[in-house]
Chains A and B, each alone.
Chain A
């Protein structure tokens, strides 16, 4: 479980996060949704520790991550997998080397054991057979899958995904979403997915929080999202004229 309490973050005097509190459950896909520039990426990066918040607390189970020193944070980070928007695979390494990377860094396993684990992760995300390819030789969807394989290599307890299906066609996007959902349930991870894609929300959002102008504006399940009276959320979810017509009755 990950919990954030009263988070505040401002850049040059302007609040990007304004008293955000939320709880992200284990074994569920917790979605953070919101318009571009609403603060959801800042929230996710704050949770990952890539951005320091001005005020507030971030808890990873019983550990207060926001107040830990870098050495103690490192222990939690070893249990954290992060999927970046652009996959963030290391260009100079092959697919296999990318997945081996965290294993080389943090485990004392033999080479054979590490290779077994890397191949298991690649098979799990269905990209086996591409071990020798470089990221530049992969399609967008494959890059995301390899990034997921790297993220789960150390069997993490927490998985943070920043817009996992951005830049992908809707069908491939759903494949990635489904994969994240399957892995979350299989490994009982606490997964947080940052998205502005309604397909993702409806496909995998066990719990959804809506960020609007840096504030937590609404939270609920994917079923509840369709019946809400929250105007800002309705404007976001039913943004197109066609969607508004569907909502009207």
Chain B
């Protein structure tokens, strides 16, 4: 019963969020601010994690297919497809759910308990549209860029493992990452990322926006936002993979 009530409240909030914005110029300004907070500030973590994961996948794959019958370039193929199909979309989304999701939930939660959201409402401003819509737009626009960045940096990480770690000949790796490449995989990864962006920002906003109480509840809302976003990302991953790749 409570689940149904939460789902209902979530969709009511989204209805309020996607109603006509107060002023398009202000929506644009807010969206630019959020792109910086949600997107550009996530660059370092995405770069660092993707670089290391790309290198590790290369080393592990090479270690596991030590077979004279299997050509070396298959390591490159595996690294590329792992990054494209799962890591750079789903795993990066899970990381962003932790970073961006908790930040959104706690920021909105603090605004709620310090009456800043009430202040917006009492001015006659649609607080949901003003606060949540720019975050969703920023994430939908910028998360795909982070996904592409993650793919490129991950592939570069694998290359570094070959060059600096001597895992395998770099030429085989380069050949592998170009071998039997389906551009459709990129559309698949970007499509998933857009869905994940909506899930992370809307679910986190929902938890933050409805905080009641004090600092403890803000912390709880932040944790719930990350946990629920992560579960929904995994569920969406299953559904989207079944739908898009079948």
Contacts and interface: CB of A to CB of B under 8 A. Distances in A.
Contact of A105 (B115, B121, B123): B123
Interface string A85-122: 11011110000000000101110000000000000000
Main secondary structure of the interface of A (DSSP, over half): mixed
B122 A105 contact: no
A48 interface: yes
Interface string B100-126: 000000000011001110110111110
A104 B26 contact: yes
A80 to B, nearest CB: 7
Interface size class of B (residues with CB under 8 A): 10 to 19
A248 to B, nearest CB: 41
A226 B13 CA distance: 49
Contacts of A75: 124
Contact of B122 (A48, A85, A89, A104): A48
Contacts of B125: 105
A49 interface: yes
Contacts of A49: 122
B124 A84 contact: no
A78 B115 CA distance: 18
Given A86-B114, A104-B26, A105-B23, A78 B124 contact: yes
Contacts of A88: 114-116, 118-119
Interface residues of A, number: 22
Interface in A69-87: 73-75, 77-78, 80, 82, 84-86
Nearest to B22: A105
Nearest to A80: B122
Nearest to A162: B115
B122 A50 contact: yes
A85 B123 contact: no
Interface in A37-78: 45, 48-50, 73-75, 77-78
Contacts of A48: 122
B148 to A, nearest CB: 29
Contacts of A102: 123
Contacts of A85: 115
Nearest to A104: B26
B123 A90 contact: no
B23 A82 contact: no
A50 B116 contact: no
A84 B123 contact: no
Given A77-B122, A84-B119, 16 more contacts: A73-B124, A74-B124, A77-B123, A78-B124, A82-B122, A82-B123, A85-B115, A88-B114, A88-B119, A90-B116, A90-B119, A91-B111, A102-B123, A105-B26, A106-B123, A106-B124
